[in-house]
């Protein structure tokens, strides 16, 4: 799927910038706590004792609050960590390490009023502190104090992430003063940096667009588009919005369709495309209408850039700053939720998704993402209820029912999963390539409920939609092998699957097992040994290898593999079969396990 957010064509420069900014921040996570008093020898022990210790000593001991904060941080309860450290800071207000960590936690959590107070103190101690200075810059912009904002902006260090942030905000500061040409000029150095010319061109276009300099805006938009192989949803929408306002709806529609060619079925882009067709002569509102919104866009772009590199905590700080400048920035709320999900902070992610405006085309996406987090939290009934409501509200969309099927399948509720997949398929008029997973997963559900003819039909349909798909070939061919049907075709199919996924232990196992079923025992040993090396903790693969060893006369090794398979807690039916083989050998035991 094509990313929603702005993509960056080069990663090397970005990687260096991310490393530098993390070094400047003194941490690899925004919430990492530098213990001013805990030693290396007692840090872990103190951390695990923190809740009881803090409860007993928090009134009398600031260190108790620090320990509780450190423990909460390790548990990724960053809001609680911020509260504890703020209390510890009351007793040690000039501790720069503690001040830095408390500020970063407040900013990460979006608690801007508290973060602002800490930023004032922090910049007095460390005038070049980038994130704290940046927050003060933003507050001056919000207050309309452009001169003071510019002075603070000059204090940002000329390295790391600040070297990207400063020219972007400086350009928008010039725009706010009415000097749009000077704003575009501020971006020239950024455009010269390898990997960031797209970002510089995009903001030059937005600045010229806001100034009604249509020719310059068009040139810069086209330059930004030329930097990427395929546009992200955000980039396509920003440029399409410009073309629509210029009366070039056909050009905008062509760009939207170009995006859909890469991400077919995108609910957000389909909504944007539908609006473009229904708008008539009424132009849409500008995507970026004020310099403050331009600054928010810049921070959003940088947050996406950081997220792409896995620097999720500092990305979260930047996206919180973007929302500080533009509270109604829906797509930024989606990114907050995505980052929180990637950090396994699913309760917080759900809260973020629920703040997405119900009138936004992103609301549908937000509810699907919310259901993902509910599923991860094992709140299955809540997730299914939400998805059923979304399905009822969007009778033309198959995705909510498909996701219900996936949830039920993952819980091994295969009959119910099949019913959900069947309802999803009923909403598809013409199956397309992107629907292969729906046929594949329904095929699995049908096979697991012993409805093989229907399962085979769906697996073959998945393969028709996505030829050479290794996972479909593996499941279908393995099933044929187990049924001792189409063995030659299954063998050829599995050979191709292994060529496509040589490091997938399950697919390699399937090929080895096909050779076994065909009586090619020596060949089966080669593949099954390789599969066991790739997936050493899988009981079925180890059991298969034991069977193959037995057939080639390696009886002692066979028994070792069967014992190993038993130690890996296989399914009950596999246990009884292995025990029989250990007792009597393979020839006298039941048929080998598939």
Q: Determine the Cα–Cα distance for residues 18 and 552; give it in Å rounded to an integer.
A: 55
Q: In the chain, pLDDT over 90 holds for what percent of residues?
A: 76
pLDDT digits (tens, 9 = 90+) for 119-153: 999 999 998 899 999 999 999 999 999 999 999 99
Token readout for 302 is 């940088």
Rounded to 5°, the CA angle 448-452-453 comes to: 150
Which helix (H) or strand (E) segment holds residue 407: the answer is helix 399-410
Would 81 be classed as within a structural domain? yes
Q: Say how far apart CA 10 and CA 1 lie, in whole Å.
A: 19
CATH number, domain of 115, equals 1.25.40.10
Least confident window among 59-63, 222-226, 318-322: 59-63
The pLDDT tens digits of the residues spanning 28-86 come to 344 433 333 333 333 333 233 334 334 433 444 667 777 887 787 787 888 888 888 88
Token look-up 């075709």 returns 489
Residue 360: CB atoms within 10 A of its CB come to 17
pLDDT-derived band at 392, boundaries 50, 70, 90:
very high
Taking only the tens place, the pLDDT of each residue in 398-419 is 999 999 999 999 999 999 999 9
Domain membership of residue 7 (yes or no) is no
Q: Would residue 90 count as lying in a domain?
A: yes
Picking from 158, 32, 164, 146, the residue whose alpha carbon sits closest to that of residue 98 is 32
Q: How confident is the model at residue 9 (pLDDT cuts 50, 70, 90)?
A: low
The interaxial angle of helices 12-25 and 130-142, nearest 10 deg, is 90
Q: Which one-letter DSSP state was computed for residue 67?
A: H
Do the beta carbons of residue 366 and residue 374 sit within 8 Å? no
Residue 15's pLDDT is what? 52
Cα–Cα distance between 351 and 148 in angstroms, integer? 35
CA atoms of 153 and 156, how far apart (whole Å): 6
Residue 219 has pLDDT above 80, yes or no: yes
Rounded to whole angstroms, what are the CA distances from 350 to 322, 324, 334, 385? Answer: 19, 20, 10, 15
Residue 128 falls within a domain, yes or no? yes
The domain in which residue 98 lies consists of 60-157
Task: Report the alpha-carbon distance of residue 213 to residue 246 in Å, rounded.
Answer: 11
Look at the chain and report how many structural domains it folds into.
1
Average pLDDT, integer, range 252-259: 96
Q: Model confidence over 171-215: pLDDT tens digits?
A: 999 999 999 999 999 999 999 888 899 999 999 999 999 999 999
Q: Which long-range contacts (CB under 8 A, 24 or more apart) does 412-416 make?
A: 412/448, 414/444, 414/445, 414/448, 414/449, 415/445, 415/449
Domain for residue 21, yes or no?
no
Q: DSSP code of 215?
A: H
Residue recorded with tokens 């390699």: 508
Q: What is the mean pLDDT of the chain?
A: 89
Query: What is the secondary structure of 165-213 as a DSSP string?
Result: HHHHHHHHHHHHTT-HHHHHHHTHHHHTSTT-HHHHHHHHHHHHHHTT-
Q: Is residue 199 domain-resident?
A: no
Structure confidence by residue, pLDDT tens digits, 504-558: 999 999 999 999 999 999 999 999 999 999 999 999 999 999 999 999 999 999 9
Q: Could you tell me if residue 280 is inside a domain?
A: no
Token pair, residue 475, equals 């499941």
Buried b (16+ CB within 10 A) or exposed e, 394-403: eeebbbbbbb
> Is there a domain that residue 76 lies in?
yes
Q: How many CA atoms lie within 13 A of 152 on its CB side?
A: 24
Whole-prediction pTM: 0.86
């Amino acid at each position: 799927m094509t990313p929603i957010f702005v993509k960056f064509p080069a990663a090397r420069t970005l990687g260096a910038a991310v490393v530098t900014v993390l070094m400047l921040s003194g941490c690899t996570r925004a919430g990492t706590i530098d213990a001013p008093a805990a030693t290396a020898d007692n840090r872990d022990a103190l951390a695990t004792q923190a809740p009881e210790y803090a409860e007993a000593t928090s009134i009398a001991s600031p260190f108790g609050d620090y320990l509780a904060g450190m423990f909460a941080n390790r548990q990724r309860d960053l809001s609680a960590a911020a509260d504890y450290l703020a209390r510890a800071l009351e007793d040690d207000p000039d501790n720069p390490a503690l001040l830095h960590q408390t500020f970063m936690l407040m900013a990460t959590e979006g608690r801007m009023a508290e973060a602002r107070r800490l930023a004032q103190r922090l910049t007095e101690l460390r005038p070049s502190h980038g994130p704290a200075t940046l927050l003060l810059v933003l507050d001056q912009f919000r207050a309309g104090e452009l001169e003071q904002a510019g002075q603070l902006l000059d204090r940002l260090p000329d390295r790391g992430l600040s070297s990207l942030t400063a020219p972007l905000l400086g350009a928008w500061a010039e725009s706010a003063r009415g000097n749009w040409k000077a704003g575009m000029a501020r971006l020239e150095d950024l455009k010269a940096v390898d990997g960031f010319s797209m970002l510089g061109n995009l903001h030059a276009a937005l600045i010229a667009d806001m100034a009604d300099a249509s020719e310059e805006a068009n040139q810069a938009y086209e330059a930004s588009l030329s930097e990427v192989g395929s546009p992200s949803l955000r980039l396509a929408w920003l440029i399409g919005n410009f073309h629509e306002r210029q009366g070039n709806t056909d050009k905008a529609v062509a760009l939207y369709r170009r995006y859909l060619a890469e991400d077919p079925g995108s609910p957000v882009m389909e909504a944007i495309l539908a609006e473009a067709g229904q708008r008539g002569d009424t132009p849409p509102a500008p995507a970026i209408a004020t310099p403050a919104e331009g600054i928010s866009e810049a921070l959003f772009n940088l947050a996406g850039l950081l997220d792409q590199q896995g620097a999720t905590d500092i990305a979260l700080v930047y996206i919180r700053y973007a929302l500080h400048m533009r509270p109604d920035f829906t797509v930024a709320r989606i990114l907050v939720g995505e980052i929180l999900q990637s950090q396994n902070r699913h309760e917080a992610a759900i809260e973020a998704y629920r703040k997405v405006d119900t009138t936004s085309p992103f609301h549908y996406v937000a509810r699907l993402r919310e259901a993902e987090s509910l599923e991860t939290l094992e709140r299955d009934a809540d997730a299914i209820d939400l998805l059923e409501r979304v399905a009822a509200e969007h009778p033309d969309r198959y995705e909510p029912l498909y996701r219900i099927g996936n949830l039920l399948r993952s819980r091994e509720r295969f009959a119910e999963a099949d019913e959900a997949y069947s309802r999803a398929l009923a909403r598809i008029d013409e199956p397309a390539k992107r629907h292969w997973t729906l046929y594949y997963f329904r095929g699995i559900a049908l096979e697991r409920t012993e409805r093989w003819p229907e399962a085979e039909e769906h697996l073959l349909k998945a393969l028709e939609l996505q030829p050479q798909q290794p996972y479909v070939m593996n499941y279908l061919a393995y099933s044929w092998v187990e049924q001792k049907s189409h063995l030659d075709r299954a063998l050829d199919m599995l050979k191709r699957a292994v060529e496509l996924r040589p490091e997938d232990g399950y697919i390699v196992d399937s090929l080895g097992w096909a050779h076994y079923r065909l009586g090619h025992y020596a060949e089966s040993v080669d593949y099954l040994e390789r599969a066991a090396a790739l997936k050493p903790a899988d009981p079925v693969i180890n059991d298969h290898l034991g069977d193959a060893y037995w057939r080639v006369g390696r009886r002692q090794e066979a028994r070792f593999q069967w014992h190993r398979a038993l130690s890996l807690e296989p399914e009950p039916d596999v246990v009884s079969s292995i025990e029989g083989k250990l007792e009597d050998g393979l020839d006298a035991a039941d048929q080998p396990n598939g």
